[in-house]
Amino acid sequence: MKQRVNICSRLLSRDKFSGLLISNPVNISYLTGSEPMDGYLLVTSSAELFFFTNSIYALQAKKIPSWRCFTASLNKNILQLICEKIKSLKLRRVGFETKHLPYLQQKTLNRFLLDKKVFFVETNDFIEKMRMIKAEPEINCIRKAITVNLQAFEYACQIFNPKTTEKNLAIEIEKFLSLNGDKDLAFPVIVAGGKNSVYPHYQPKQTAIGHKNFLIDLGSKHSGYCADLTR
């Protein structure tokens, strides 16, 4: 994870940023190896990490050794904490994730920082571009997720009978995926019988599949990495 942070800091320096405020939990997990939790990660061009969260996640966040953690209180909210840290570090050009920071929060941060001549600058897919290139351990996680998916299809064949409903079969497959991969799935399982199989993102219903053709679309996760297979 340290290597990823160092790459991020080098990219920030290259683009003349003194820091980047990350609000996408997946991007935070990618850089730090932490479990997804609500909060904001400030990365500096010198590879320092500062995490801001609320009291619900405080205990969990303080266990992460790679960052310094700051917890919001009744007297001081998260945005105030972020601004204070940016000011104390004397950061001048700070990027933020346009796709993941709500407009009102962006506006508030701009207002708090304007008097200190801090420029809050839009970035688009800054961390996502790093994530596009997979290291071998990441590829292995994807392979494992695919293996669980294939096993789930075999399981579906074993438990299926014509009286099975779309919804019941989907629930059984979801249980299998959760027990054999991550608890969270890549997406809800789709089981669609007959003419229902033409609808994208179909919601399984209490309709017996019978002897019709039917579609199963499923996706497991392994250590946060997703697989998606359709049959």
DSSP states along 34-69? PPP-S-EEEEETT--EEEEE-TTTHHHHTT-TTSEE
- The DSSP symbol for 208 reads B
pLDDT band of residue 84 (cuts 50, 70, 90) is very high
Q: 117-161 pLDDT, tens per residue?
A: 888 899 999 999 999 999 999 999 999 999 999 999 999 999 999
pLDDT of amino acid 58: 87
Strand partners, 40: 52
Q: What is the mean pLDDT of residues 90-115?
A: 90
Q: What is the mean pLDDT of residues 51-74?
A: 90
Strand partners, 43: 20, 49
pLDDT of amino acid 149: 97
Q: Is the pLDDT of residue 108 over 80?
A: yes
Q: Taking CA 140 as the corner, what is the angle to CA 134 and CA 143, rounded to the nearest 5 degrees?
A: 105
pLDDT of amino acid 104: 92
pLDDT of amino acid 125: 95
Residue spans of alpha helices (H) in the chain: 2-14, 25-32, 58-61, 78-88, 103-113, 126-131, 136-159, 166-180
Report the residue count for the chain.
231
| 128-131: Cβ within 8 A, 24+ apart | 128/27, 130/4, 130/7, 130/8, 130/11, 130/30, 131/27, 131/30
CA–CA gap between residue 105 and residue 113 (Å, rounded)? 12
pLDDT of amino acid 212: 83
State the average pLDDT for the chain: 93
pLDDT of amino acid 64: 87
Distance spanning both ends of the chain, measured CA to CA: 36
Q: Is the pLDDT of residue 26 over 90?
A: yes
